[in-house]
Amino acid sequence: MKAYINGKIYTGDKILSDHCVLAENGKVFDLVERSAIPAHIETIDLKGRLLAPAFIDLQIYGGNGHLFGEFPSVEALKATYAYCLSGGATQFLPTVATNSEAVMFAAIDAVREYWRQGGHGVPGLHLEGPYINPAKRGAHISEFIQQPTLDGVKKLLSYGEGVIKMITLAPEVCPDEVIDFLLQQDIVLSAGHTNANYRQAMTAFEKGLKTATHLFNAMSALQHREPGMVGAIFDHPDVRVSMVADGHHVDFPVIRLTKKLLGERLFLITDAVTESLNGRYSHRLQGDKYVIADGTLSGSALTMIQAVRNCVHHVGIPLEEALRMASLYPAQIIGLDREFGRIEPGFAESFVVLNDQGDLVSVIN
C-alpha cells in the first residue's frame, strides 16, 4: 500500500485539500485524512499539486510518427500510447478513418496482438467509417466509403468481435436493419461524417444512437430553416458529443456557447494524427494542426492536457469541469466509469498530477 500525501485531491466531484489517497495493487483503497494514514506506509509527496483522474481519449489515429490508422501495428499502438501518456491519457481508442477492409482487419489484428503481449491502455478500437456520407467525408478518402449492408456489417463485426468498441457512421446512409443490428451489439454508435437532416438525426437518436462525433465538423450545420445534425444534437436531451478543442476545428467562442447549451453532454477528444507523408492518408504539420496535400484540415496536434488547458484558458470552463470532460465523461461513453474518471475506493490508480498553472507534471498509471 502507498499514500499520496501533501496535495489537493480532485475526486471527479470536488477538490479535497485535507485528504490523502491510499492505493494498493493498482486500485484506490481509500481517501483518508493525513492523521489516519497507517504507520510505515510508503508515501508519495505531491508537493501541494493537484491529483486528478487520468484522461481518456476516444479518438486518436496515431502518435510519435506512427500513424496507426493507416499502418496498424503493435509498434504503432505502443508509440500512440506513449503519446497519450505525454498528455495525461492512460486509456485511448486507436482510431481508423474510412479505409479498406484489409486495413480495418489489420487494425483489429494489431489490437489483439497488443493485448496478447500485455499492452495497456487500449479498451478497444474506434472505426470512424467506412459507413459515412460522401458529402461530409472531410479528409476521408471517397473510394473507401461503403454503402452498408447487413451481410457486410456482420462480416466486419464478426472479425472484430471483442475489439471494435466504437463506430462512427452516418445514420442516413444506413438501412434500418443495419442500425437495428448494430444497436444490439456491445459497441458505441456515434453519428458523424453525416449530412442527415434534423428529422433523420432525431430518428436515429430515438432509435438508440446516443453519441455524435466531433461536433460541427463533417456534419450538417444548424440552419434556421433546417436545423440539421447540429440542431438535433442541441435539441435532444440525452445525446453526448465529442469536440476537438484546438481552436481550429471549432473556434473558442463557439465552444463556450456550445458548453452553455450542452453542459455535461460535451466531452473532449484530441482527434490527433501524426506526421505521415506516405500512404493514402498523408498528414503534414502546419503550425499547430495537420492538413492533407490540398490544405484540408485532417487532424489535430492536441494532447488531452492541451485540450483541457484550452477549455480553461480560452473558453472559460472551470478546471474541475474541463477535467471531467477529459476523464469522467469519456469513461461513461464507453462503460469504464466504474473504474476510471474518479478517485474513490475501487477505482484504478490512474492519475494525473497538475501544478497551479494547470500544467501536467506527471502521470501515475
Is 337 in the active site?
A: no
Pair type for strands 50-53 and 8-10:
parallel
The 8-class DSSP code of residue 276 comes to B
CA–CA dist 107, 340 (Å, integer): 25
Select which of 109, 271, 294, 337 is catalytic. Answer: 271
Backbone angles phi, psi at 3, to 5 degrees: -130, 130
The 8-class DSSP code of residue 315 comes to I
Pair type for strands 2-5 and 42-45:
parallel
Check if the beta carbon of residue 84 is closer than 8 Å to that of residue 304: yes
Burial class (CB in 10 A: 0-12, 13-18, 19+), 35: exposed
In angstroms, the first-to-last Cα distance of the chain is: 15
CA–CA dist 49, 71 (Å, integer): 39
CA angle 248, 250, 253 (to 5 degrees): 115
Nine-digit cell string for 281: 492518408
Provide the annotated active-site residues: 271
